[in-house]
Amino acid sequence: MQSYSLIAPAKINLSLEIIGDRPDGFHELVMILQSVELADIVEIQASDTQEIYIHCDHREVPCDRTNLAYRAAELMCQTFPEVYANYGGVVIKIKKNIPVAAGLAGGSGNAAAVLVGINLIWNLGLTRPELHDLAAKLGSDIPFCVSGGTAIATGRGEKLDSIEDLADIWIILAKYDNISVSTPWAYQTYRQQYGDSYIKDPTQINSRTAAIHSSPLVKAIAHKDSTEIGKLIYNDLEKVVFPEYPQVAELKSAFSTQDVLGTMMSGSGPTVFALCDSENSAIAVKQAVKTLINDPHLKFWVTKLSNNGIQIGDS
Ligand code: ATP
Protein backbone atom coordinates (compact mmCIF):
# COMPACT_ATOMS: atom_id res chain seq x y z
CA MET A 1 0.00 0.00 0.00
CA GLN A 2 1.13 3.52 -0.78
CA SER A 3 2.80 5.70 1.84
CA TYR A 4 2.61 9.47 1.91
CA SER A 5 4.94 12.18 3.06
CA LEU A 6 2.92 15.21 4.10
CA ILE A 7 4.08 18.77 4.65
CA ALA A 8 2.43 20.26 7.76
CA PRO A 9 3.06 24.03 8.01
CA ALA A 10 3.25 26.08 11.18
CA LYS A 11 0.57 28.67 11.97
CA ILE A 12 0.77 32.18 13.38
CA ASN A 13 -1.99 34.50 14.50
CA LEU A 14 -2.11 37.85 12.73
CA SER A 15 -4.72 38.74 15.31
CA LEU A 16 -6.13 37.08 18.42
CA GLU A 17 -8.93 38.63 20.44
CA ILE A 18 -10.67 36.97 23.36
CA ILE A 19 -14.22 38.28 23.53
CA GLY A 20 -16.11 35.99 25.91
CA ASP A 21 -16.70 32.64 27.56
CA ARG A 22 -18.49 29.71 25.94
CA PRO A 23 -20.82 27.24 27.63
CA ASP A 24 -18.38 24.43 26.65
CA GLY A 25 -15.63 26.00 28.78
CA PHE A 26 -13.62 27.38 25.86
CA HIS A 27 -13.30 31.05 24.96
CA GLU A 28 -15.13 32.92 22.20
CA LEU A 29 -12.31 34.02 19.93
CA VAL A 30 -11.97 36.31 16.94
CA MET A 31 -8.73 35.61 15.10
CA ILE A 32 -6.93 35.88 11.80
CA LEU A 33 -4.78 32.80 11.22
CA GLN A 34 -1.93 32.50 8.76
CA SER A 35 0.22 29.57 7.56
CA VAL A 36 3.97 29.94 7.26
CA GLU A 37 6.39 27.87 5.18
CA LEU A 38 8.26 26.43 8.18
CA ALA A 39 6.79 22.91 8.33
CA ASP A 40 7.01 19.47 9.92
CA ILE A 41 7.13 16.41 7.69
CA VAL A 42 4.66 13.65 8.58
CA GLU A 43 5.11 10.28 6.88
CA ILE A 44 2.22 7.87 7.05
CA GLN A 45 1.95 4.26 5.93
CA ALA A 46 -0.08 1.16 6.73
CA SER A 47 1.25 -1.05 9.53
CA ASP A 48 1.26 -4.86 9.45
CA THR A 49 -0.90 -4.93 12.58
CA GLN A 50 -3.96 -3.10 13.93
CA GLU A 51 -1.70 -0.81 16.01
CA ILE A 52 -0.99 2.89 15.62
CA TYR A 53 2.76 3.61 15.90
CA ILE A 54 4.28 7.05 16.37
CA HIS A 55 7.95 7.89 15.82
CA CYS A 56 9.24 11.41 16.33
CA ASP A 57 12.77 12.83 16.19
CA HIS A 58 12.12 15.44 18.94
CA ARG A 59 12.71 14.39 22.54
CA GLU A 60 9.99 16.66 23.99
CA VAL A 61 7.27 15.14 21.82
CA PRO A 62 5.49 12.11 23.31
CA CYS A 63 5.22 8.99 21.11
CA ASP A 64 2.21 7.57 22.94
CA ARG A 65 -1.55 8.18 22.91
CA THR A 66 -1.03 11.76 24.14
CA ASN A 67 0.49 12.70 20.79
CA LEU A 68 -2.13 14.64 18.82
CA ALA A 69 -1.16 12.71 15.69
CA TYR A 70 -1.97 9.45 17.52
CA ARG A 71 -5.35 10.87 18.56
CA ALA A 72 -6.08 11.83 14.95
CA ALA A 73 -5.35 8.26 13.79
CA GLU A 74 -7.45 6.85 16.61
CA LEU A 75 -10.36 9.10 15.62
CA MET A 76 -10.17 7.82 12.03
CA CYS A 77 -10.15 4.19 13.28
CA GLN A 78 -13.20 4.85 15.47
CA THR A 79 -15.07 6.76 12.77
CA PHE A 80 -14.45 4.18 10.01
CA PRO A 81 -14.25 0.85 11.89
CA GLU A 82 -14.84 -1.34 8.81
CA VAL A 83 -12.19 0.40 6.75
CA TYR A 84 -9.81 0.18 9.71
CA ALA A 85 -10.53 -3.55 10.09
CA ASN A 86 -9.77 -3.97 6.39
CA TYR A 87 -6.60 -1.85 6.12
CA GLY A 88 -5.16 -2.23 9.64
CA GLY A 89 -3.25 0.36 11.69
CA VAL A 90 -0.77 3.02 10.63
CA VAL A 91 2.86 3.95 11.18
CA ILE A 92 3.37 7.71 11.59
CA LYS A 93 6.85 9.26 11.45
CA ILE A 94 7.13 12.91 12.44
CA LYS A 95 10.15 15.03 11.53
CA LYS A 96 9.90 18.10 13.73
CA ASN A 97 11.05 21.40 12.26
CA ILE A 98 8.47 23.55 14.06
CA PRO A 99 9.53 24.35 17.64
CA VAL A 100 7.43 22.56 20.28
CA ALA A 101 5.02 24.35 22.66
CA ALA A 102 5.78 27.54 20.81
CA GLY A 103 2.34 28.93 19.89
CA LEU A 104 2.84 27.74 16.30
CA ALA A 105 0.28 24.89 16.33
CA GLY A 106 2.91 22.23 15.58
CA GLY A 107 0.97 19.37 17.18
CA SER A 108 -2.27 20.53 15.55
CA GLY A 109 -0.57 20.52 12.14
CA ASN A 110 0.69 16.97 12.72
CA ALA A 111 -2.84 15.83 13.58
CA ALA A 112 -4.22 17.57 10.46
CA ALA A 113 -1.60 15.74 8.34
CA VAL A 114 -2.69 12.39 9.80
CA LEU A 115 -6.35 13.06 8.91
CA VAL A 116 -5.36 13.98 5.34
CA GLY A 117 -2.91 11.04 5.12
CA ILE A 118 -5.36 8.40 6.32
CA ASN A 119 -8.01 9.80 3.97
CA LEU A 120 -5.50 9.09 1.18
CA ILE A 121 -4.17 5.66 2.21
CA TRP A 122 -7.64 4.31 3.01
CA ASN A 123 -9.14 5.85 -0.17
CA LEU A 124 -11.94 7.40 1.90
CA GLY A 125 -12.57 10.29 -0.49
CA LEU A 126 -13.47 12.68 2.36
CA THR A 127 -14.14 16.24 1.23
CA ARG A 128 -12.52 19.32 2.81
CA PRO A 129 -15.66 20.12 4.92
CA GLU A 130 -15.79 16.49 6.12
CA LEU A 131 -12.12 16.64 7.11
CA HIS A 132 -12.80 19.95 8.91
CA ASP A 133 -15.63 18.35 10.92
CA LEU A 134 -13.36 15.52 12.03
CA ALA A 135 -10.53 17.97 12.77
CA ALA A 136 -12.79 20.12 14.98
CA LYS A 137 -13.40 17.08 17.22
CA LEU A 138 -9.65 16.93 17.95
CA GLY A 139 -8.77 20.57 18.58
CA SER A 140 -9.70 24.14 17.75
CA ASP A 141 -6.70 24.89 15.49
CA ILE A 142 -6.83 21.63 13.52
CA PRO A 143 -9.47 22.58 10.89
CA PHE A 144 -7.35 25.60 9.96
CA CYS A 145 -4.21 23.44 9.75
CA VAL A 146 -5.96 21.17 7.19
CA SER A 147 -6.62 24.05 4.76
CA GLY A 148 -4.09 26.73 5.76
CA GLY A 149 -3.58 30.02 3.94
CA THR A 150 -5.14 33.11 5.53
CA ALA A 151 -8.46 32.75 7.37
CA ILE A 152 -10.76 34.39 9.86
CA ALA A 153 -11.37 31.96 12.73
CA THR A 154 -14.23 32.44 15.20
CA GLY A 155 -16.11 30.38 17.79
CA ARG A 156 -13.35 28.54 19.66
CA GLY A 157 -11.24 28.92 16.51
CA GLU A 158 -12.83 26.13 14.48
CA LYS A 159 -15.23 28.23 12.38
CA LEU A 160 -13.28 29.34 9.35
CA ASP A 161 -13.76 31.86 6.56
CA SER A 162 -10.94 31.97 4.05
CA ILE A 163 -9.86 35.46 3.03
CA GLU A 164 -7.32 36.80 0.50
CA ASP A 165 -4.06 34.91 0.64
CA LEU A 166 -0.99 36.84 1.65
CA ALA A 167 2.11 36.12 -0.37
CA ASP A 168 5.57 37.67 -0.51
CA ILE A 169 5.78 38.64 3.12
CA TRP A 170 8.84 37.33 4.92
CA ILE A 171 8.77 36.43 8.57
CA ILE A 172 11.34 35.91 11.29
CA LEU A 173 10.24 33.56 14.07
CA ALA A 174 12.22 33.75 17.31
CA LYS A 175 11.91 31.53 20.37
CA TYR A 176 13.96 30.84 23.48
CA ASP A 177 14.50 27.09 23.55
CA ASN A 178 14.42 27.16 27.37
CA ILE A 179 10.99 28.87 27.60
CA SER A 180 7.69 27.24 26.76
CA VAL A 181 4.20 28.49 27.57
CA SER A 182 1.25 26.24 28.28
CA THR A 183 -1.71 27.26 26.13
CA PRO A 184 -4.30 26.32 28.86
CA TRP A 185 -2.34 28.39 31.40
CA ALA A 186 -2.37 31.45 29.12
CA TYR A 187 -6.13 31.29 28.53
CA GLN A 188 -6.97 30.54 32.18
CA THR A 189 -4.81 33.43 33.38
CA TYR A 190 -6.48 35.71 30.84
CA ARG A 191 -9.89 34.67 32.18
CA GLN A 192 -8.81 35.37 35.77
CA GLN A 193 -7.47 38.81 34.92
CA TYR A 194 -9.85 40.03 32.19
CA GLY A 195 -12.97 37.86 32.58
CA ASP A 196 -14.94 40.82 34.00
CA SER A 197 -14.70 42.60 30.65
CA TYR A 198 -15.99 39.64 28.58
CA ILE A 199 -19.08 40.18 26.44
CA LYS A 200 -21.92 38.20 28.04
CA ASP A 201 -24.82 38.89 25.65
CA PRO A 202 -24.90 36.29 22.81
CA THR A 203 -26.29 38.88 20.36
CA GLN A 204 -23.35 41.17 21.08
CA ILE A 205 -20.95 38.24 20.67
CA ASN A 206 -22.48 37.57 17.24
CA SER A 207 -22.18 41.18 16.11
CA ARG A 208 -18.61 41.45 17.48
CA THR A 209 -17.74 38.25 15.59
CA ALA A 210 -19.35 39.49 12.36
CA ALA A 211 -17.49 42.82 12.59
CA ILE A 212 -14.11 41.16 11.94
CA HIS A 213 -15.05 40.77 8.25
CA SER A 214 -14.99 44.54 7.75
CA SER A 215 -12.13 45.25 10.18
CA PRO A 216 -9.15 47.41 9.16
CA LEU A 217 -6.81 44.38 9.28
CA VAL A 218 -9.02 42.31 6.97
CA LYS A 219 -9.22 45.30 4.58
CA ALA A 220 -5.43 45.69 4.68
CA ILE A 221 -5.06 41.97 3.88
CA ALA A 222 -7.51 42.32 0.95
CA HIS A 223 -5.43 45.25 -0.38
CA LYS A 224 -2.16 43.37 0.29
CA ASP A 225 -1.04 46.49 2.18
CA SER A 226 1.86 45.01 4.13
CA THR A 227 2.65 48.29 5.93
CA GLU A 228 -0.89 48.52 7.32
CA ILE A 229 -0.92 44.79 8.13
CA GLY A 230 2.26 45.24 10.16
CA LYS A 231 0.68 48.10 12.13
CA LEU A 232 -2.62 46.30 12.81
CA ILE A 233 -1.49 42.84 14.03
CA TYR A 234 -2.76 42.26 17.57
CA ASN A 235 -2.71 39.60 20.30
CA ASP A 236 -4.63 39.79 23.61
CA LEU A 237 -2.50 37.02 25.17
CA GLU A 238 0.58 39.29 25.23
CA LYS A 239 -1.12 40.92 28.24
CA VAL A 240 -0.69 37.78 30.36
CA VAL A 241 2.43 36.20 28.84
CA PHE A 242 4.67 39.32 28.87
CA PRO A 243 4.44 40.01 32.64
CA GLU A 244 5.18 36.34 33.41
CA TYR A 245 7.97 35.98 30.82
CA PRO A 246 9.75 39.37 30.58
CA GLN A 247 12.31 37.95 28.13
CA VAL A 248 9.52 37.44 25.61
CA ALA A 249 8.42 41.08 25.99
CA GLU A 250 12.07 42.20 25.58
CA LEU A 251 12.34 40.11 22.43
CA LYS A 252 9.37 41.93 20.91
CA SER A 253 10.88 45.28 21.96
CA ALA A 254 14.17 44.33 20.27
CA PHE A 255 12.34 43.53 17.00
CA SER A 256 10.39 46.80 17.20
CA THR A 257 13.67 48.80 17.15
CA GLN A 258 14.42 47.27 13.71
CA ASP A 259 13.17 47.97 10.20
CA VAL A 260 10.16 45.60 10.36
CA LEU A 261 6.57 45.92 9.15
CA GLY A 262 5.35 44.77 12.55
CA THR A 263 6.15 42.40 15.40
CA MET A 264 4.00 40.35 17.77
CA MET A 265 3.84 37.23 19.91
CA SER A 266 2.21 34.28 18.11
CA GLY A 267 -0.78 32.56 19.74
CA SER A 268 -0.08 31.80 23.40
CA GLY A 269 3.66 32.29 22.77
CA PRO A 270 6.45 32.32 23.54
CA THR A 271 7.41 32.64 19.84
CA VAL A 272 7.68 36.25 18.71
CA PHE A 273 7.53 37.02 15.00
CA ALA A 274 8.40 40.01 12.86
CA LEU A 275 7.16 40.67 9.32
CA CYS A 276 9.48 42.03 6.62
CA ASP A 277 9.15 43.03 2.97
CA SER A 278 12.09 40.99 1.69
CA GLU A 279 14.32 38.06 2.53
CA ASN A 280 17.38 40.32 2.76
CA SER A 281 15.61 42.59 5.20
CA ALA A 282 14.49 39.58 7.31
CA ILE A 283 18.04 38.19 7.44
CA ALA A 284 19.43 41.61 8.44
CA VAL A 285 16.82 42.00 11.20
CA LYS A 286 17.50 38.51 12.51
CA GLN A 287 21.23 39.28 12.68
CA ALA A 288 20.64 42.59 14.44
CA VAL A 289 18.32 41.09 17.10
CA LYS A 290 20.71 38.17 17.61
CA THR A 291 23.52 40.64 18.30
CA LEU A 292 21.34 42.81 20.54
CA ILE A 293 20.16 39.95 22.78
CA ASN A 294 23.15 37.61 22.46
CA ASP A 295 21.62 34.58 24.23
CA PRO A 296 22.53 31.06 22.99
CA HIS A 297 19.00 29.89 23.93
CA LEU A 298 17.40 32.29 21.45
CA LYS A 299 16.70 30.49 18.14
CA PHE A 300 15.59 32.06 14.85
CA TRP A 301 13.84 30.88 11.69
CA VAL A 302 13.57 33.03 8.57
CA THR A 303 10.69 31.89 6.39
CA LYS A 304 7.71 33.20 4.39
CA LEU A 305 3.98 33.37 4.82
CA SER A 306 2.35 30.49 2.96
CA ASN A 307 -0.92 29.90 1.13
CA ASN A 308 -0.93 26.20 1.93
CA GLY A 309 -2.36 23.80 4.46
CA ILE A 310 -1.39 20.13 4.39
CA GLN A 311 0.42 19.31 1.15
CA ILE A 312 1.67 16.03 -0.29
CA GLY A 313 5.49 16.10 -0.39
CA ASP A 314 8.05 13.78 -1.99
CA SER A 315 7.67 10.20 -0.72
P1 ATP B 1 -0.89 25.56 19.97
O2 ATP B 1 -0.39 26.83 19.32
O3 ATP B 1 -1.88 24.77 19.10
O4 ATP B 1 -1.34 25.70 21.37
P5 ATP B 1 1.81 24.88 20.38
O6 ATP B 1 2.55 25.17 19.11
O7 ATP B 1 1.91 25.91 21.44
O8 ATP B 1 0.32 24.57 20.01
P9 ATP B 1 2.65 22.16 20.30
O10 ATP B 1 3.97 22.25 19.62
O11 ATP B 1 1.51 21.67 19.51
O12 ATP B 1 2.28 23.55 20.98
O13 ATP B 1 2.88 21.28 21.61
C14 ATP B 1 2.19 21.46 22.82
C15 ATP B 1 2.39 20.22 23.68
O16 ATP B 1 1.68 19.15 23.07
C17 ATP B 1 3.85 19.79 23.75
O18 ATP B 1 4.36 20.12 25.01
C19 ATP B 1 3.84 18.28 23.52
O20 ATP B 1 4.19 17.57 24.68
C21 ATP B 1 2.40 17.93 23.16
N22 ATP B 1 2.28 17.26 21.85
C23 ATP B 1 1.44 16.26 21.58
N24 ATP B 1 1.52 15.88 20.29
C25 ATP B 1 2.44 16.66 19.72
C26 ATP B 1 2.99 16.75 18.41
N27 ATP B 1 2.60 15.92 17.42
N28 ATP B 1 3.90 17.71 18.15
C29 ATP B 1 4.28 18.55 19.15
N30 ATP B 1 3.84 18.48 20.41
C31 ATP B 1 2.92 17.57 20.71
Residue of minimum CA distance from atom 25 in ligand 1? 107
Which phi-psi region, left, alpha or beta, contains residue 312 (left: φ > 0; alpha: ψ -120 to 50)? Answer: beta
Q: What is the pLDDT of residues 96-108, one digit of tens each?
A: 999 998 999 999 9
Q: Which of 56, 100, 142 to mutate to test the pocket of ligand 1 (most atoms within 8 A of CB)?
A: 100
State in Å: Cα 202 to ligand 1 middle: 31
Q: What is the pLDDT of residue 167?
A: 76
**DSSP letters spanning the chain:** ---EEEEEEEEEEEEEEEEEE-TTSSEEEEEEEEEEEEEEEEEEEE-SSS-EEEEES-TTS--STTSHHHHHHHHHHHHSHHHHHHH--EEEEEE--SPTTSSS-HHHHHHHHHHHHHHHHTT----HHHHHHHHHHH-TTHHHHHH-SEEEEETTTTEEEE-----S-EEEEEEETT----HHHHHHHHHHHHGGGS---HHHHHHHHHHGGGSHHHHHHHTT-HHHHHHH-EETTHHHHHHH-HHHHHHHHHHHTSS-SEEEE-TTSS-EEEEESSHHHHHHHHHHHHHHH--TTEEEEEEEEES-SSEE---
Cβ < 6 A, ligand 1 pocket: 60-62, 66-69, 94, 100-108, 110, 141, 183, 267-268
Q: Write phi, then psi, for 175 (nearest 5 degrees).
A: -145, 135
Global pTM value: 0.95
Q: Could you read off the pLDDT of 211-264 as tens digits, one per residue?
A: 999 999 999 999 999 999 999 999 999 999 999 999 999 999 999 999 999 999
Query: Nearest residue CA, atom 17 of ligand 1?
Result: 101
Q: Is the peptide bond before 243 cis (omega within 30 degrees of 0)?
A: no
Span from the CA of 120 to the centroid of ligand 1 (angstroms): 24
Q: Please count the residues of the chain.
A: 315
| 13-68 pLDDT per residue, tens | 999 999 999 988 899 999 999 999 999 999 999 998 999 999 999 999 999 999 99
Q: How far does the centroid of ligand 1 lie from the alpha carbon of residue 103, in Å?
A: 8
The verdict on whether 177 is a catalytic residue reads no
Residue type, position 260, single letter? V
| pLDDT, tens digit (0-9, with 9 covering 90-100), for 263-278 | 999 999 999 999 999 9
- Out of 29, 52, 68, mutate this one to test ligand 1's pocket (max ligand atoms within 8 Å of CB): namely 68
Question: Which residue, among 163, 128, 90, 146, has the nearest Cα to 308 in the 3D structure?
Answer: 146
Q: Looking at 40, 96, 141, 286, which residue is catalytic?
A: 141
Question: What is the number of the ligand 1 atom nearest to the C-alpha of 99?
Answer: 10
> What span, in angstroms and rounded, lies between the C-alpha atoms of 109 and 159?
17
- How confident is the model over 116-166, as pLDDT tens digits? 999 999 999 999 999 999 999 999 999 999 999 999 999 999 999 989 888
